[in-house]
Structure 1
């Protein structure tokens, strides 16, 4: 049987627990409020801070970079477009705006935060967001009913990826792209070209200054006469 003092102590203990819980919850509420106020930027920054090695920049690509990167694509003959490291979807809507009605856009990211955000915010039936590694692109493409991809876009930071991952992604990408297709890469260092050159004989180069930071642009073509 509880005495009066025991009852008062229990209430005080419960009160302290509630107060402590409120204090614990406050930072989380503040984080959510800040994230909501920042919108996609908040998600992008959080994703970068969680795993900077897999995210090329803390700032999404500019519209100038997007337009230049996508300009060489033959959209009339594009049935499958693949993107590595989509982040919060900076390229997704521009790609979907250009993609034929019977086409598909598959984006691949190892960050569940980005994949969850994209699945919630892009309702286009042509869009598929996959949680996984770009090195597994062949299996992912086949799982969605395709043998080859027409184009693959990547903003992954090849120079900072774990050892062996960059070469594996470049090799798998070359295998999965159809003849006549291309590997589209935007990077902040020119090292990405070295990974591409091992597989793509013809690489067009560019640079976009109106971007933070300015970036190198590459289009690696898989020509029709390749073996």
Structure 2
């Protein structure tokens, strides 16, 4: 095997995937410690939340897919798995470290460093067509309601009439209150909570009032996520049982096994 292929094989191994995930989480936690209001969450979006957000994007749509606040890229990766070509992705990130990481992970996507809340200015000259969707992981609840509504207006000024603004939140209610969205002729759609995410999250989708197509989540996708969750739970339980069996004391000899760790005469360990 040629030398330039070995790293790709190493990255594909389960151990290296875990190492990369832990490294991404470490970067995210450091970013959160440096600026909690900017990062919003202490860890990246979980795999179930990322997949659910990607399911809200239609791969058959035309135009770029703009992602706001991609961080270390879990939602970006889910969009690719959904069938979105990397060349269609426009990733808007403020943190320089994350921009560098995203450029390494997704070399064919367009990385734009800038303020997502000034979306029109940030994306000036970066779009070759109206976006089909805007997928946001921004911590909207850290901003005033007026700023959230202004972001929504900017996004829909850029998108076509069938565009979708997809936002997740750890809150119970819509991060852009429904009455404010309605005042700008936007519909608000709430999806079922993602209980498998830690903490549980909810996805809200905003569309033009005259856009007739609601976003449907496929039951088979939800069932698949639940099956995966149960499988992971079984694997964890099996590993714990195996660990207990290795650590359990043997019946023969002392209560701690054939050879006690304590010498009763010297009382030494």
Interval containing the TM-score (normalised by the shorter chain): 0.7 to 0.9
Q: Distance in 2 between matches of 1:119 and 1:191?
A: 32
> Separation in 1 of the partners of 2:211 and 2:21?
52
- Distance of 1:182 and 1:205 partners within structure 2: 13
How many residue pairs end up in the alignment? 190
The 3-state SS of whatever aligns with 1:149 is coil
Residue 120 of structure 2 is matched in structure 1 by 138
Match of 1:152 in 2: 134
**TM-score (norm. length: structure 1):** 0.73
The residue aligned with 1:211 is 197
Q: Is the Cα–Cα contact under 8 Å of residues 50 and 75 in structure 2 kept in the other structure?
A: yes
Q: How does 1:34-73 map to 2 (within 5 A)?
A: 38-73=22-57
Post-superposition offset of 1:67 = 2.1
- Tell me: higher relative CO, structure 1 or 2? Use CA pairs within 8 A at least 6 residues apart: 1
Which of 138, 151, 160 matches 1:169?
151
Could you report, residue by residue, the CA deviation over 1:114-173 in whole angstroms, capped at 9, with x for unpaired residues? Answer: 1122112322x2x11111011333344441242421100111111213685333322211
Note closer, same or farther for the CA distance 1:210–1:169 as it changes in structure 2 (3 Å cut): same
Q: CA deviation at 1:83?
A: 0.8
Deviates more, 1:164-173 or 1:78-87: 164-173
Partners of 1:87 and 1:200 lie apart in 2 by 30
Pairing partner for 1:186 from 165, 168, 173: 168
Q: Could you tell me whether the CA contact under 8 Å between 1:53 and 1:160 is conserved in 2?
A: yes
Contact 2:102–2:111 (Cα < 8 Å) also in 1: yes
Match in the other structure for 2:187? 202
- Tell me whether 65-74 or 49-58 shows the greater mean CA deviation: 65-74
The SS at the match of 2:160 is strand
Report if the CA contact (8 A) 2:68-2:93 is conserved.
yes
Match of 1:8 in 2: none
The answer for unaligned runs of 5 or more in structure 1 is 1-34
Return the match for 1:128 from 80, 102, 110.
110
**Partner residue, 2:67:** 83
Higher strand share: 1
- Partners in 2 of 1:204 and 1:112 — Cα distance? 33
> CA offset at residue 113 of structure 1?
1.7
Distance 1:102 1:38 in 2: 24
CA RMSD of aligned residues (A): 2.7
